[in-house]
Each structure stands twice: as C-alpha cells, then as structure tokens.
Chains A and B, each alone.
Chain A
Amino acid sequence: METLYAVTVGVLTACSVFLILRGRSFPIVIGITMLSYAVNLFLFSSGRLAIDQLPLIGHSETYTDPLPQALVLTAIVIGFAMTAYSIILAVRVRGEIGSDEVNEPDHSDSEGSR
C-alpha cells in the first residue's frame, strides 16, 4: 500500500511539474492546483498510513496521528486561496495584455499564438 501511495504522489507531482513548465497561464494554474494536492498528500502521509483509526476519542483502540491532518486541513483552504488568486491574476493579465502567455509574445520560448 505504501508503494502505491508513494507512486501516486510521485505521478501527481510529475504531472503538475510538467504543467507548471508550460508557457500559458491556465495550464500553470491547473498545475499549481494539482501540485498542492500532491503536497497535501505528502504532508498528510507524514503521519503514516492507517486504516480505520479516525482521530476521534472513543472511536477506536488506536488513533492515527491527528497533527498532520490539522495542518493539511488548513493547507487545503490556503491552497484554495492561492489557486483563486493565481487564476484571477491570470484573468487580469489576459484582460490587460490580451494574451495568456507568461513570456513576451515574441520570445523564443513562447508557445503558438491564440
């Protein structure tokens, strides 16, 4: 199970890094969002994997580590704020400049025009 979990986190990271390296703002925002999922999963796993051990007192014999959960919970909400901020920034840039490319339009690294 641990292998499966680690592979999943690795794939999520790889895909999001690929998206972040794109030249347009929308894929980058998607990449950032997915990267935040990967990071959350990673942080969450620092409490190790445990099945049916909800951190509710009286619910079971042993409990999983509640601290990473509390940290990740706020991280999810902050991650949402970040996603929102970056996507609105992207919209604003599109409105102001008329393009969603992150580089100068005539830059050699830029992707095709819209």
Chain B
Amino acid sequence: MNLAAIVLLPFFGALLPLMLRHKTRIWITSSAALVTLASLTLLLLSAPETLGGGIPTLMVPWLPDLGLHFAMRLDGLSLLFAGLILGIGILIVIYAHYYLSSRDDSPRFFAYLLLFMGSMLGIVTADNLILMWLFWELTSISSFLLIGYWFQQSNARRGARMALAVTGGGGLALLAGILLIGNIAGSYQLDAVFAAADQIREHEFYLPALLLVLLGAFTKSAQFPFQFWLPHAMAAPTPVSAYLHSATMVKAGIFLMARLFPVLGGTPEWFIIVTLTGLATLLFGAYFALLKTDLKGLLAFSTISHLGLITMLLGLGSRGALLAAIFHILNHATFKAGLFMIAGIIDHETGSRDMRKLSGLRKAMPFTMVLAVITSAAMAGLPLFNGFLSKEMFFTESYQQDLFGGLSWLVPVLATLGGMLSVAYSIRFVHDVFFQEPAKDLPKEPHEPPLMMRAPVIVLASLCILVGVAPMLMVSGLLEPALAAVSGAAGQIDIAIWHGFNIPLLMSAFAIAGGIAIYIGRDELFTFNRQFDHHDAKEIFASVVKRTTTLSDALMLRIETGSLQRYIAALLVISLVFVIPELVKIKALTGDRPQLPVDFISMIGAVALILAAFGTAIFHRQRLTSLMMLSVVGLLVSLVFIRFSAADLAMTQLVVEVVSILLMILALFFMPQRIPRASSGRRVARDVLLAGFVGGIVGTLNYALLTRPANTISDFFLANSVPGGGGTNVVNVILVDFRGFDTLGEITVLAIAAAGIHKLLNNLRPFMPSSDVDGRPWHSTTHPLLVQVVAQTILSLALMVSVYIFLRGHNLPGGGFIAGLVTAAAMILQYMANGVDWVKNRFDYNYQTLTSVGVMIAFFTGIGSWVFNHNYLTSAFTYVEWPIVGKFELATAILFDLGVYLTVIGATLMILANFGQMTTRHRPRQEGH
C-alpha cells in the first residue's frame, strides 16, 4: 500500500494548492512541498528493502481480463528514478516559489507540477506494462500543461502543442509495441515479461515490437530525429525546464529503454539502432548547443546531447556501459537541474538570457558564478566532478567495444569529438556570461538572488562535488540495485577516480584541450555555420500539421458528403462485403432438414405477398397507393404467422397493422401526397442492384437456416410451462413469466417511445393543406352518422373481446399485448368516428399517466416476489372456482400482464390520439398539456 501511496499522493495533493488559492503564496508553496516531502518520506521508508536486494511489490487487480493490474514495484531502477523525481522535485518547488512572479497563477503551477510528478512516479514504479503506458501518457498531458503554463504567449502554446504531438504520437507507438510484447509473453506483468525474454527476442514480431517501443522512447527522450520538440519546450517557465529536462520527462524514454533492456536488449538490432541513434544525437546536440545564443537554448541542446550519450551507452549494452548509463542519468540530473536554475536566476535578475548581451556578471553575482562554474565543470566532465566519472566510463566503453568490426575505431573518435564540444559549450556558458567586460544595457540591474533561490542550486552543486570526490561512498549503494535491475544480475560495482594513465584518460585530455581550442576558435565556427540555411523545426512542424489537416479535410469531404442515402448505401455494401465471404464458405446451401410440401393456398399467399411488396416499392411516388399496398403486406404477414402455428403473432400483427396504417394515413395528411419527379435512372439502377443483392443474401441466409435442423432451448419452456408457470399458452408464459424481465424492458421502451413522440408533437406547427393534392377541398361531413353508430356499437363489443383475450391469454392465444392493442384500436375508432371533442367529453384520461401506471404495475409485481423471498418476477398461481366462468387460474403473472395491457393502451393512444388532435383545438401546445 506504501507504494501506491507514493504515486497517488501527488495526484491527490495536486488539489491542495488549488484549495489554498486564497491563502498567501507561502501556504501554496508549502502545501506542494509538503506533498512532495510526504511522498519522499514514504519512498525512503520503502528504500531499505530495495537497497537490501529485495523488491517490494503491490498487486491490485484492475481489469484482469485485459491483463491490466494496478501493480507496483520498487526495484533498484525504480528507486533511483523515484529518488531523482522527488528529490529534485522538492528543490524545484522551493526554487519555483521565488521564480514565479506575483502575477503568475501559482496554485495552477503547483497543481500541474504535482500531477506531472505523480505521473512520472507512476511510470518508474509500474509493474505492469499497460499501467506504465497509462502513466506515460499522463506525463505527456501534464507536461503539455506545464510547457503551456504561460498560455498567453503564442510560442508557449506552440511549444506545448509540439511536445504533446511528438511525445503523444510516440506514446501510441509505444502502446502498440507493448501490446505486441504482452501478446508474445502472455502477460503484461514485468516479471512474466522478463521471464519470457528469450521467447520475445526470438519471436518473428521482435523487430516490430522493438521499433515501436524505441519510437516511444526516442520521441520522449528527444533522440535524433525527434529532438526538435525539446528546444521549443523551453518556452516553459524555467523551473519546469529544469525539472522536465534534467530528471524527469526526457528521462522517461531512457528509463523505458533501461527497463526493457533485459527483454529487448543485447541483440544486433538493438545494438545498431540504439547506439547509432545515441551517437548521432550526442554529436548533433553538442554541435548546436555551441551555436545557441540563448542560455536555455544552449542547455536544451546540451540536454539532447547528454541524452544521446546515455542512449548510446544503453545501446552498447555491456555491464560497464549499463553502469555508466545509470550513473550518468544521476549525474546529468544533478548538474543539469542546477544549470537550468542558474539560467533562470540570471534571467530573473538581469532580465535577459541572451549570451550576446550578458557578460561580466562575476562582479554582480559572484556567488552564482561559483555555482555556475561547479555545475558547468561537471557538465564538461572535468576531474573531481561527478560528470568526469561517468564520462570517463563512457570513453572506456566506447574504446573497448569492437562491434563495428574494422570501423570500430570511429566510435571512440566521435565520442571524443562529442566530449570536446561539450567542454566548449560549458566554457561558453560560464565565460560568456560571467567574464569579460560587464554588460551595460541589461533590462535590470544585476544582483544576487535571494538565498533560498540559490539554496537548491547549492544542494545540487555540492552533490556534483561530493559524488565526484567520493563516488563509492555516495552512490554505490544506490547504483548496485539499479544495475541489478537493468542487467538482470546482481554484483559489486567499482567506481574509481584514478585508473592510471590509460587511453580513456588520454581521450579526456584530448576532449578538454580540444574543447578549449574550439571555444577560442568559435567565431570562425559561427561564421562557417552561417553559410547554412537552417530550417526552423517550428515551421517544418507547422507545415506538416497543416498539410495533414488539409489532407484529412479533403478526405472527410469525400466520405462525408452529407447524403444520408449514400451513408445507408455504404453501410449496406459494407455488410454485404462481410456476409458474402461467410456464405461462400457454406458447403451446401440446402441442409438436412426434411422440407414441407408446398400447398396451393400457401402458393397464392406467397405470390400475393410478393406482388404487394413490389407494389409498395414501385408505387412509392403515389404515397396513398403505396401505403395501401403496405397494409396488404402486413395483413398477409399475419396470415403467414397463423399458417405456421403462431396464433399469438398473427393476432398481434393484425392489430398492429391496423393501428400503424391508421397512423400513417394520418401522417400522410401532413406530408406531400406525391413525389412529382423520379430519381435519376442511374440512382434507381444503383438502388435496385443494391436492394436486389441485400434481398438475395437475406433470402439465401433464411433458406440455409430453414433447411437445417434446429437446436432449440425451448424444451425447458414447453416442459415447465404448466407446472412452473401455470399456463398452457407457452408463448404467453414465456412473455410474462420465464422472460418477464425482457418484457418489462420492452414495455419500458414502448413507453419511452411514446413519451418521445409526445414531446415531438409539442409546439409542432405542421403543414396543413386545406385541400387534397389536386385542389379539391376536404369533404364537409367530418363524422358520418353511419360510422358513428357502428363505431359506438363496436366499442363495447371490442372492450369485451379485449377483456376476454386478456384473461384467456395465459392458456390460449391472447394476452396483455394483444388485448391492449385491441382496446386501443377501438378507442382510436371512436376518435375517428366521433371526433376528439366527443371522446374528451366522455373519456378524459391522461394517457401519460396510464402508461406510467402500467409500467409501474409490471415493475412492482416483480418486486412483490421479494416479499416472499423469491427472485425478481417469480410468479405464483392457483386455481379458483368462479361463478358462471368455472374453474379459473389466478396467477400473479396476470397482474404483470395487466401492466403490459395498460402500457400498451396508454402508449398507443398517447401516440395516435395526440397526433390525431393536431388538427383540432386540443393540439398540444405547451409543456405538460
């Protein structure tokens, strides 16, 4: 639980600065510092176990089916990184307090910073690859917020966007890589992945997985050719740069490579890609660092260069190289964080970061100068500073490798060249700023910053010296478990300051001498460099983004034409594309099931049905004709049902048919009666073709289905209908008992549809013609007497029939659905025959209430079974002797069916009666009427 707390504390703690928004700034800073300290304390409590060789873990299943767990581990590598993140984090918080001006929104700053801190901690302590990826993306997002903190500046917004696009894109590649690895290993847990290392390296997908993971790592760690986002991220406040580009964000890619080294490393592919990328980045970064005039720009490119150095070491992959990589991660974080803070101090106290303007600050800021000299010396790799040790190890490794055969000598030469450039820009950082003549026209009068702003730098600079002088004492305890985690084998390490006179020492000497020479001759270099036309990465990036959006816009316009018909056609074509190959696979179309003989009456019915269907389609421009044809189809469908032993269906279909045709005739009043012009021939041909295909496929499918033996689960229903449900009509028993819960859902849907229609009708101003389409006025007799009389006579009969159908439903065809529809149809007939006013006078019920009462009855009938300790909707039944009627079954299911009955009546009338009232003074006008 301790591990989870280390990571989650900053996330929850991010709320603290925001809640203390109205307090003074010291409160806000303290809250952020306290959260960091608390997390650091927890880390230190867990540290002894890791340092002793153990690995504390935590495992909380999250989505076990996907292999995602909230799993944490604190091995040596995690501890090293977590220590850096929190240790430097606390210094950054203190520094930021003095750096941010009173105009800046500091609660927001600290909230973002803590979010970022938590995400980083999550990456380094995750024991599950997907979880790690999740935190990885969180760092992309939170770093976006941090870089764009001064969002009123356009270059901050642009820099943030670029960083997000590059690192977020890399994150997606990483996810793909992780999924591949997890698939090969069979788990996303690190231990399982480590155990499957050989399997992964020999798998055919090893190379794609490696490339994808490296793409994620290289984009995050700003490796060539993805380095371009990092300099633009310098638009962030300096504390953010100091944090992101020393200890955290860009180190995440390095961490990833170190973390997966036991799985992916050690192969020729790994070696070539990672080493060469690292070497290219090292030289590229070092060269451009020297050319920059902006202090932070220099540091940005120097960061790129040092990241390249670490990457190259990881690529070399020997035990010594891995140790050097881990050691340099630590060293780079300390001196680079310090250097960024110094750059921030200079900017803060002089108002400028331009090395062409700054000079001679040693008089005004002597203390800062000492700190700058120490940290720069560490960056240059001078003896007795920590950078020297890891750089010496780097030289040793580059000299000892023989991986490029006859060309291996190139590597130490290029490494020395990188070392020279590094020395040169380090000298430049100190010499240009603090020496020479004092600058005259600075925006502010330079002076020393407050002590507490210097304090974090003092801590870091002291570390540079202490580690440089006594490396074994200071860091060997921390490096040993980290190396064990990366190399997979525990063992002693030995870092010595003095190795005697040997080749690496010679390389160091060359680097320092060459660096001084380059610095002295820098003006020639600058002149030389001016010949080249350097494209700004910003503009290239912007044009790529612009081209991509233009392309996708054009693509969208082609696909999204706005034609709904085209969408439907596309949908149908796609479904055909998926269904047809499956149908081709079927060996024989006709199955084994014996077929029924065709009889004459069925033949007639089928032909009539087919003709009516064609008629509906062909006459669709004469809408009334088409509608009449449709009603023929509906009626014949109900005959089909009765022919094939489905009496309930036939009855339902019949009544629904009546009601829906009525509804559509009513709607036709408000709609154009005809379509004057036909579609173009091409479109008709296309549609006929498509429709024919779809129909053919559906018919084929149906035939294949019909001629194959059925494997049904209905035997249970047939066997238990009477003993379990107390009814002989199995269909009805299924509806109200076995599958009662489904029915409850269905009547709810019906009620919702009715309510939706009710809403649609509110305040509707329909198009109301005063004559038919040929200009003939409507007939003056709205309610013919004959119809009135017949309708009124039928009402009582229909009601009686519906009650009868309802009651017998459990045993014979019938039930709530059908009875409800019959009642509704009879009521609609009254509306039609006698008019709305006539019905309103006699039967003024609110159909919305009726519908809800129906759903409620059904719902509470179900709940009733809880009272008797049964599952929801368990039914009970008994038989009673009724006078006249005789023996009659009484089941709780009938109460449920009553709910269905009322819902169907209410919903149907809500739809039809409300719609019918559109032409009268009762038409719905406002909410709730």
**Residues of chain B whose beta carbon lies under 8 Å from any beta carbon of chain A:** 561-566, 568-569, 572, 593, 595-599, 602-603, 606, 609-610, 613-614, 616-617, 620, 623, 626-627, 630, 633-634, 637, 640-641, 643-649, 652-653, 656, 659-660, 663-664, 667-668, 670-672, 675-679, 683, 687-688, 690-692, 694-696, 698-703, 705-707, 710, 712-714, 717-718, 721-722, 728-731, 734-735, 739, 742-743, 746, 749-750, 753-754, 756-757, 760-761, 764-767, 811-813, 817, 821, 904, 907-908, 911-912, 915
| Contact A112:B675 (CB < 8 A) given known A5-B706, A18-B688, A55-B718 | yes
Cα distance, A94 to B907, chains bound together (Å): 24
Complex partner residue of A103 from B564, B637, B652, B660, CB under 8 angstroms = B564
A4-B602, A5-B706, A64-B645 are known contacts. Are A95 and B750 too (CB-CB below 8 A)?
no
Number of A positions contacting B (CB below 8 A): 93
A80 to B177, CA, bound (A): 50
- Contact: B728 with A58, CB < 8 Å? yes
- Tell whether A73 pairs with B664 under 8 Å between CB atoms, given A19-B616, A78-B750: no
In Å, the complex CA distance between A64 and B718 comes to: 10
* Closest residue on chain A to residue B668 by CB atoms: A26
Q: Which of A72-86 contact B (CB under 8 A)?
A: 72-74, 76-85
Inter-chain CA distance A51–B644, complex, in Å, is 5
Chain A, residue nearest B641 (CB): A44
Q: Are B595 and A111 in contact (CB under 8 A)?
A: no
Q: Which residues of A87-113 have CB atoms within 8 Å of chain B's CB atoms?
A: 87-92, 94-96, 98, 100, 102-104, 107-109, 111-113
Q: Is the CB of A1 within 8 A of B646?
A: no
Identify which of B653, B672, B675, B742 contacts A76 (C-beta below 8 A).
B653
Question: A69 vs B811: C-alpha distance in the bound complex, in angstroms?
Answer: 15
B750 lies within 8 A of A49 (CB): no
A48 & B660 in contact (Cβ 8 Å cutoff): no
Which chain B residue lies CB-closest to A37?
B637
Decide yes or no: A102 and B633 within 8 Å by CB, A72-B649, A95-B670 being known contacts.
no
Q: Top 9 nearest A-B pairs by Cβ distance? A: A10-B699, A112-B677, A14-B695, A6-B703, A81-B753, A1-B596, A18-B691, A66-B730, A70-B734
Residues of A within 8 Å of B595, CB to CB, are 1-3
Q: How far is the CA of A82 from the CA of B907 in the complex (A)?
A: 12
Q: Which one of A6, A25, A37, A77 contacts B746 once the chains associate, using CB atoms below 8 Å?
A: A77
Nearest CB of A to B738, in Å: 8
Q: Would you call B637 and A41 a contact (CB within 8 A)?
A: yes
Task: Give the CA-CA distance A17 to B698 in the complex, in Å.
Answer: 11
Residues of chain A with a CB closer than 8 A to B610's CB: 7-8, 11
Contact A85:B756 (CB < 8 A) given known A45-B705, A111-B678: yes
26 A-B contact pairs sorted by A residue (CB < 8 Å): A1-B602, A4-B606, A6-B699, A8-B606, A9-B699, A15-B614, A18-B617, A20-B568, A22-B679, A26-B668, A37-B634, A37-B637, A48-B593, A56-B730, A66-B714, A67-B713, A70-B731, A73-B652, A77-B652, A85-B756, A85-B757, A90-B667, A95-B766, A102-B564, A103-B564, A109-B563
CB distance from B208 to the nearest CB of A (A): 42
CB of A36, distance to nearest CB on chain B (Å): 10
Helix, strand, loop or mixed for chain B's interface? Answer: helix
Of A3, A55, A95, the contact of B765 (CB 8 Å cutoff):
A95
Contacts of A59 in B (CB 8 A): 728
Measured between beta carbons, the chain A residues less than 8 angstroms from B742 are 74
Chain B nearest CB from A9 CB (Å) reads: 5
| Contact in complex: B731, A73 (CB < 8 Å) | yes
User: Which B residues lie within 8 Å of A73 (CB)?
Assistant: 648-649, 652, 731, 735, 817
- Chain B residues with Cβ below 8 Å from A90 are 667, 671
Assembly CA distance A20 to B569 (angstroms): 9
Report Cα–Cα, A65/B660, bound state, in Å. 28
Residues of A within 8 A of B714 (CB): 47, 65-67
Within 8 A of B (CB), among A12-40: 12-27, 29-30, 33-34, 37-38, 40
A3–B620 CB distance below 8 A: no
Specify which chain B residues have a CB less than 8 angstroms from the CB of A69 in the assembled complex: 646, 648-649, 731
Q: A33 contacts B630, CB within 8 Å?
A: yes
B652 & A21 in contact (Cβ 8 Å cutoff)? no
In whole angstroms, how far apart are the Cα atoms of A29 and B627 in the complex?
10
Q: How far apart are A15's CB and chain B's nearest CB, in angstroms?
A: 4
